[in-house]
Amino acid sequence: MTAQTIILIFTLVIYLIIIFVFNKARVKYAGGKVGKVINLILITVCLLFVADYVVIFDPVVDVDVLEIIRALFRTAALSFLAYGGAKVADS
């Protein structure tokens, strides 16, 4: 096993724990500001998950294209979190 594989497995476990915990919290705290913040966190984590696991397509897609896709998903995640956080703070 390479170091990159171990890191990917470790981050996968962390992502799954975060998604599992916040999904349970989303069911418990549906509606209101807390529910909106939980949804923001879930969507942000899912976008970051996709950004980290674009590397799976390494044999098929050029490395430069993968880096662009990774950067776009990370930027989308942070932008979504910032915009959604501003909307929640306004309400």
Q: At what angle do helices 63-90 and 32-52 cross, to 10 degrees?
A: 170
**CA atoms 62, 64, 70, 73: torsion sign:** negative
Per-residue pLDDT tens over the stretch 15-35: 999 999 999 998 888 888 898
Residue-wise pLDDT tens digits, 26-84: 888 888 889 899 999 999 999 999 999 998 898 899 999 999 999 999 999 999 999 99
CA distances from 6 to 9, 11, 51, 68, 89 (A): 5, 9, 17, 24, 38
Domain ranges of the chain: 3-90
- Which residue from 91, 90, 79 is spatially nearest to 40, judged by alpha carbons? 79
